[in-house]
Amino acid sequence: MAIQWCPLLLLMVVVYMIAYGRAAKASTHSAALTSASKPADLPGAPISVNYFPSRKCNYTCGFCFHTETSSYVLTIPEAKRGLKLLREAGMQKLNIAGGEPFLYPRLLTELLRYGKEQLGLESMSIVSNGSKIKESWVQANAKWLDILAVSCDSFETETNKKIGRGDDGGNVERLFKIAEWCKTYGVKFKLNTVVNAHNWNQDMVADIERLAPFRWKVFQCLIVAGENDNEERKRDATKFLVTDEQWRTFCDRHKHLPCYVPADNASMASSYLNLDEYMCFLDKGDGPMTKSQSILDVGVMPAMQQVRWDKESFLERGGIYDWSKQEARMRERILSGRKIQHCNFIAR
């Protein structure tokens, strides 16, 4: 049996190495980018960045911690310049959030294509409320998009309305359509949920199993000073907070699901590297929110030094995970090849 398997395995390894080499070559457009190919080895490198190109949103989620206090949006050339600076500093993954990013579909397309084709980023993802996503857009942009995440806090229409996630009642229907589009066009589907006063006692197991996201990020409702900390702000999240006991109740009910990834308030503080619409880093950890100067003005590393980013906490909470669909596809092909060869061997 070993004689039958060895040539096939050797061929698969060679194919994988060639494919991986091509992907690596695409990410080395300059000496600066080459030096950033292993960002985990560079102290303080911005491995994974959450970029909020706009604060504008068509929903009014009551606990939102990045509220619509500005209508500013960078020009596409300036946004690309900022991404290049981040890549040169060691960024490997870019997550585009908001606001609602699909209010600007052309901007998304331009950033995705630039990030993959010119910067050679390992992973590019988007977080959306799902209301504006169209199948035609997913089909056209799937080649550059690794992960599409949709925020869903409940599978009950009335609960979503109480939270502020639209009022047409179509959230859940759209969610399942988007999950199917991702499957059809080869994009990894992710789900985000905020545990709050309106959903902490709900059982989502059956619906999550039907959706089958590769990753389900479950956040505890968070207060960010200056954004959602009282009734004088755009949003007042104090009405949506859950107790530690309520948080644990929700977690215990769902923790057996393989895709489940919890993120309580302690793990979120200063472990995310957030970049606002002006490309200023935001420190949304304990205490009042602070922000850096724009990386477009002072550069990435000087700007990072003006805020707190706890890289150790980032790593401890699983900030680096299976975020590239290219690697996942290669593993699937190898496993599929093994199964086919094994079946042929048995047939003989």
Choose the weakest-confidence range: 66-75, 221-230, 335-344: 335-344
**Per-residue pLDDT at 288:** 67
Say if residue 244's pLDDT is above 90.
Answer: yes
57 is catalytic: yes
Residues found in the chain? 348
| Of 149 and 270, more confident | 149
Tell me the pTM: 0.81
CA atoms within 13 A on the CB side of 107: 23
Domains of the chain: 2-347 (3.20.20.70)
The model's pLDDT over 104-142, given as tens digits with 9 standing for 90+, comes to: 999 999 999 999 999 999 999 999 999 999 999 999 999
Question: pLDDT class for 232, splitting at 50, 70, 90?
Answer: low
Question: pLDDT class for 230, splitting at 50, 70, 90?
Answer: low
259 is catalytic: no
Share of the chain above pLDDT 70, in %: 78
Say if residue 15's pLDDT is above 60.
Answer: no
Say if residue 276's pLDDT is above 50.
Answer: yes
| Of 207 and 282, more confident | 207
| Of 3 and 304, more confident | 304
Give the integer Cα–Cα distance in Å for 120 and 117: 6
Tell me which of 57, 152, 259, 280 is the catalytic residue: 57
Amino acid at 316: E
| Of 8 and 78, more confident | 78
343 is catalytic: no
Six token digits for residue 81: 């310049």
Tell me which of 64, 152, 221, 259 is the catalytic residue: 64
The model's pLDDT over 20-65, given as tens digits with 9 standing for 90+, comes to: 444 443 444 433 344 344 544 566 899 999 999 999 999 988 888 8
Crossing angle between the packed helical segments 325-347 and 2-26, to the nearest 10 degrees: 160
Tell me which of 61, 152, 182, 280 is the catalytic residue: 61
- Residue 69 CA from chain centroid, whole number: 23
Nearest to 30 by CA among 101, 93, 85: 85
Cα distances from 45 to residues 140, 156, 309, in angstroms, run: 32, 41, 10
The model's pLDDT over 284-330, given as tens digits with 9 standing for 90+, comes to: 666 667 899 999 999 999 999 999 898 988 998 899 999 998 765 55
